[in-house]
Amino acid sequence: MAKPIIVLVHGAFCNSSCWDKVIPPLKKQGHQVVAFANPLRGLGYDDEHLMSLLKVLENEKDSDGRTGKDKGVVLVGHSYGCAVITNAVPGGNKSVGAMVYVAGAAPKAGDPLVHLKDKLAQQARALLDPPNEEMDPKDLVAREFRQVEMSGCEFYLRQDRFAEVLNGDEASTEESSVMASNQRPLSTAPLRQNSKIEGWKGRKTWFIIPKKDQVFPHEEQCASAAYASTKERTTVFENAQHMLILKHAGDVAAIIEKAAGQIQK
């Protein structure tokens, strides 16, 4: 039997290396694993970039001549990556058979792309014009950027705040220091956009929820799971924080493997 392809999508202030501990156990089970480099530029960019990757995987043959259409795809998002995977799979996509939401929400059409209760997003919005005097954006720094196709402002998590604010107890001081230097910034665009596609509809979805999430309240994640998934496919980690894909990588991989088993052809 062909093992499904696993596509991992990171969130803001991270890069694809945040999945480094999740990947080995999945590859050990025989999966092709792709850690998508999320541009963090917003709708019309992040989702389309991911769509293009999925189209390639659908038709790309492995050494046995099997394509993504033959094997199926499990799409996994963490944090803001959850919004990206939701908008990257319109109803016509038949290859993605399962979706796994980690420390994030499955937005409905019309919902803010970045959830209003996301604490770092609240700080980012406070830095936008007009400023929000009730919110102290102490953890973020805004920097202008210029590219050929776009220019604007993007947000970085202050390196001296990275460990406490994002990783918490999920990583060592050394790991957090490296991640702070490697982080990808989030542009302002996602903060002003609304979700368009409900990619979770009609698909098997799993939720992995850290109860001690210090960035995005676990209650909001549970509310999302209530309409987009089932209790049987929702796992709450009592002592985990937002970046549980680091310290709890084995447990996260096991749930992804379970999702893959449900669509294995």
Domain CATH for 212: 3.40.50.1820
Say what the pLDDT of residue 131 is.
57
Instruction: Burial-class residue 71 by CB neighbours within 10 Å (0-12, 13-18, 19+).
Output: buried
What mean pLDDT, rounded, does the chain reach? 93
Q: Does 153 score more than 90 pLDDT? A: no
Check pLDDT > 60 for residue 251. yes
| Residues 22, 75 within the same domain | yes
pLDDT range class, residue 53, cuts 50, 70, 90: very high
* Percentage above 90 pLDDT, the chain: 80
Residue 170: alpha-carbon gap to chain centroid: 17
Of the three residues 190, 219, 249, the one that is the final residue of a domain is 190
Q: Which of 156, 190, 224 lies at the terminal end of a domain, its last residue?
A: 190
- Are 158 and 201 members of one domain? no
- 89 and 164 share a domain? no
19 and 55 in a single domain? The answer is yes
Q: Do residue 107 and residue 37 come from a single domain?
A: yes
For residues 202 and 102, membership in a common domain is answered with yes
Calpha distance 212→196 (Å, rounded): 29
* 92 shares a domain with 9: yes
Q: What pLDDT was estimated at residue 46?
A: 97
In angstroms, the CA 22 to CA 33 distance is: 10
Question: Do 52 and 9 fall into the same domain?
Answer: yes
Q: What is the pTM of this model?
A: 0.94
* Angle, in degrees to the nearest 10, between helices 80-87 and 46-59: 60
Residues 105 and 41 in one domain: yes
Are 132 and 245 part of one and the same domain?
no
pLDDT tens by residue, 172-212: 999 999 999 999 999 999 999 999 999 999 999 999 999 99
Left if phi > 0, otherwise alpha if psi is -120 to 50, otherwise beta: which for 222?
Answer: alpha
81-118 tens-digit pLDDT: 999 999 999 877 889 999 999 999 999 999 999 998 99
pLDDT value at 265 more than 90: no
- Range 242-252 average pLDDT: 98
Instruction: Tell me, yes or no, whether 170 and 201 share the same domain.
Output: no
Q: Which of 190, 208, 227 is the last residue of a domain?
A: 190
- Total domains, the chain: 2
172 with 72, same domain: the answer is: no
Could you list the residue range(s) of the whole structural domain that residue 24 is in?
5-113+194-263
Least confident interval from 46-55, 125-134, 203-212, 235-244: 125-134
Angle among Cα 206, 207, 209 to the nearest 5 degrees reads 160
